[in-house]
Amino acid sequence: MTMILIIFGIGLTAGVLSGLLGIGGGVVLIPLLVLLLGITQHTAQGISMLVIIPTSIVSVWYFYKKRLINYQAAAYMAGGAALGALVSANFVQAVPASELKRIFGIFVIFSGLRMIWATRKK
């Protein structure tokens, strides 16, 4: 039961931060799954991909009601994202977990620094 509450709490944290900050839940989910639960990097990424589905449905419903969706842009992006996911999901299996962690960490740090620098320019 305790493990279920921890996993639920991780999901809740990812959902709150996703909604509040507009970040992908994977930025929060993957490190928490790997560090707190000891799940492998590859499995954590797979879980994160699956968790996107209900999170997206809830978010899309809200944005739909507020008329904040550009359907044409979303359709083009979805096509590109689906193709990119298909290619990378096959490729990532060949990348060792330690290297994948390093790449993920660099991406998160780089993204954070870009956001900080972007706010300083304004």
- Summarize pLDDT for 90-101 with one digit per residue, the tens: 888 899 999 999
* 14 neighbors 25 (Cβ within 8 angstroms): yes
Do 26 and 45 meet the contact criterion of CB atoms below 8 Å apart?
Answer: yes
Q: Give pLDDT tens digits for 33-45.
A: 999 999 999 999 9
Q: What is the pLDDT of residue 79?
A: 95
CA distance 29 to 45: 9
pLDDT of 84 > 70? The answer is: yes
Whole-number Å distance between alpha carbons of 49 and 72: 23
* Residues 6+ away with beta carbon under 8 Å from 113: none
pLDDT digits (tens, 9 = 90+) for 39-74: 999 999 999 989 888 888 888 898 999 999 999 999
- H helix or E strand, kind and range, residue 116: helix 97-121
Whether pTM > 0.85 for this model: the answer is: no
